[in-house]
Amino acid sequence: MKLGAIAPILRIFDEAKARAFYVDFLGFQVDWEHRFEPALPLYLQVSRDGCVLHLSEHHGDCCPGAAMRIAVDDIDALHAELANKNYGYARPGIEATPWGTRDLSVKDPFGNRLTFTTAIST
C-alpha cells in the first residue's frame, strides 16, 4: 500500500482577497475553478510546483483557521521573492526553530496559517 499526495482544503470568504493572496502574493496558479451555478460559492485548485491547495467558499467543506507546513527547498529565495512583492498585509520573516528548521509563516486573509519550512543542514 502507498499513500498519495494530499490537497488540503482551506476556507476562503472573498474571491478577490483569495486571488490577491494566493496568486499575486504567493505565486500560485489557478488550475481550475468550479461553481454549481454563477451565484453560488467558489471552489478552486491552486498550485505552485508540487504544492496543491483547494480553496473553498462552501461553509461545510472546512473551518477557517487551519495550519499547515509546506516544505520548500530554498527558504531564502522564497523570502526574497515575497519581500519584493510589497504585499500590504504581510511581511513574513524567517525564524529558526528549536527542532532544526527555518520557517517562514504567513496567514491568509481568512486566518489560515501557511508555514513554509526548510531543514537546517548540519
DSSP bridge partners of 54: 9, 45
Q: Is residue 3 included in any domain, yes or no? A: no
Look up the CATH number of the domain holding residue 67: 3.10.180.10
Q: Is residue 1 included in any domain, yes or no? A: no
Domain range for 14 is 9-119
Where residue 5 falls among pLDDT bands split at 50, 70, 90?
confident
Amino acid present at 39: A
Contact indicator for 80, 42 with CB cutoff of 8 Å:
no
Each residue of 83-120: pLDDT tens digit? 999 898 899 999 999 999 999 999 999 999 999 999 99
Q: Is residue 4 included in any domain, yes or no? A: no
How many folded domains does the chain comprise?
A: 1
Q: Can you state the percent helix, strand and coil of the chain, rounding each to 5?
A: 15, 35, 50
Alpha helices in the chain (DSSP H): 15-19, 75-84
Q: Please choose, from the candidates 111, 105, 26, the residue with its C-alpha nearest in 3D space to the C-alpha of residue 66.
A: 111
Is the model's pTM score more than 0.85? yes
Q: How many helices (H) and strands (E) does the chain have?
A: 2, 8
Each residue of 20-68: pLDDT tens digit? 999 999 999 999 999 999 999 999 999 999 999 999 999 888 888 999 9
Q: Is residue 80 included in any domain, yes or no? A: yes
pLDDT for residue 121: 77
Q: Is residue 66 included in any domain, yes or no? A: yes
Q: Is residue 39 included in any domain, yes or no? A: yes
pLDDT for residue 122: 62
Cell 476556507 appears where? 11
Q: Is residue 90 included in any domain, yes or no? A: yes
